[in-house]
Structure 1
Amino acid sequence: MTRLAHDRYCDEIGRQVELLRTVVTSGADLAATVPTCPEWSLEYLVRHMGGALRWVEALVRTRAREDIPEERIPLVRGPEEQGDPAVLDAWLAESGRMVVDALREAGPEARVWSWAGEPDAGFWARRMTHEITVHRADATLAAGLPYEVAPEVAADALDEWLEIVEWVQRTKPDKDSEELRGPGRSIHLHAVDTDPGLNAEWIVELTEKGVAWRRGHEKATVALRGPLTSVLLAFYSRLPLDSAGLDVVGDRALLEFWLERATFG
């Protein structure tokens, strides 16, 4: 699939940081449990996200040829002050500026270590776009706030997730990913609220050789239908399958089987 332009990813990271900052400063309880990440508080989630941005900034800025341990990255775990929205917000804002500046300066083809077989800054621009897009959903759910994402970003996030699952199964097989093999099973994702030109439908096939996917409209063993944002969040296990606006048609057990086993590795 055609990816977004590098500058578009950089713009979106900056936009998502600003939107996450509005959650931090909304008056939400930073100690509240994040329903979709129940071992995390809202503050921990924000620190995790900001730390990831700072880690990627260090990788890209130094053109790292190997992973950089987090203990070598200043303020990777956030400010010393706990529970202070203003301090946390300032740290997050700085984290966002740092990584966007580094990615823009590097350009998409700069060689940089990554964990997924794409050793360039372009990988990290895309990865951080979707990392913060999904974690912002976690934050808004915890804070009880509305959530929206641009259709082209949501569609690319689904493409990337499927690419990662495919890559993990091919290069780092484990019990869960191996169980996704097998003939005659398929999943259809169908966004019902987008412009036809976006082609926001996906076919995921579970084959003997591994997971295969493509954009398109075809009959499948099970279909997940609904607004694109809801389909994205459900496929990332951020929304229950019985959420308002979502329909599961066909073998629901297969979709649940996939959601339990699809992984970053």
Structure 2
Amino acid sequence: MNTETFLQHIDTDGRALIEAVSAAPEAAVAACPDWTNRDLAKHMGDVYGFVIAQLRAGNPEARTPPDATPAPGTGDIAPWFRERHQDVLAALRATAPETPVWTFGPDKTAAFFFRRMAHETVVHRWDAQQAAGTLTPIDPELAFDGVNEVMELFMSHRRANDPPDSSLHLHRTDGEGEWMLVAKDGSLTVTNEHAKGDAAARGSAQDLLLYLWGRGRGSLECYGDGALIDAWGSVTP
């Protein structure tokens, strides 16, 4: 996927997110304990503010603290979120993808944030819509790229939990895509191949993405040790 496609998804999914929040601001967010949709909007707005600061600073050597208006403590959060959403889109559009910036991954260019914000936005859009009862599908190719991002970035560089010593095979059913994950003694290798693992899961790119982000198995077809499958689904932060 290219940066323009990522921008389109950030725009569309960000708008859908705040529509769901506005429809049900106090609805509980299942994937984020103790959060309401309003809390989710605040989180996303804060993330956008942080990204804006990194893009504007253009300093790959040091993390830049955000300098932005905090979310209102009470009342309608939508105007604040919409401003942040438009500001992050404007900051991304004003920054060449190859521009050096600070990131929490090995890629220290602005391209990192085009991709990262597309996936951060769509997963939390799904969360907000689930809470509001207005779910719409995730674009299959965006979800496929999101699975690859998890493999390339979070499984390798930013895990919340180490995976169990075991192997897991994931198979996408709505397009091409297979991943073999093998963990041993805290190290992890990921390959794109068809192979037999200790456990396996088959499903759409959307279901695989949501599973990897701790949103449960959904409609996945799962094989093997269920405890292993659940443990692999809790690796990302």
TM-score by length of 1: 0.81
Matched, 1:11 2:3: no
Matched, 1:147 2:147: no
TM-score by length of 2: 0.90
- Separation in 1, partners of 2:194, 2:75: 47
> Identity of aligned pairs, percent?
30
**Counterpart of 2:86?**
97
**Counterpart of 1:32?**
27
1:127 to 102, 109, 116: 116
1:191 to 172, 176, 186: 172
- Separation in 1, partners of 2:26, 2:9: 27
Counterpart secondary structure, 1:34: coil
AA of the residue aligned to 1:258: W
Aligned length: 235
Gaps of 5+ in 1: none
Deviation at 1:226, TM superposition (A): 2.1
- The alignment yields a C-alpha RMSD, in angstroms, of 2.1
2:202 to 217, 220, 225: 225
Deviation beyond 4 Å, 4+ runs, structure 1: none
Gaps of 5+ in 2: none
Residue 181 and residue 229 in structure 1: after superposition, are their counterparts in 2 closer, same or farther (change >3 A)?
closer
AA of the residue aligned to 2:225: D
- Separation in 2, partners of 1:67, 1:201: 35
Deviation at 1:116, TM superposition (A): 1.6
**Counterpart of 1:54?**
49
Deviation at 1:257, TM superposition (A): 2.3
Counterpart secondary structure, 1:225: strand
- Separation in 1, partners of 2:156, 2:171: 20
**Counterpart of 2:230?**
256
**Counterpart of 2:17?**
20
Residue 181 and residue 231 in structure 1: after superposition, are their counterparts in 2 closer, same or farther (change >3 A)?
closer
AA of the residue aligned to 1:67: R
**Counterpart of 1:116?**
105
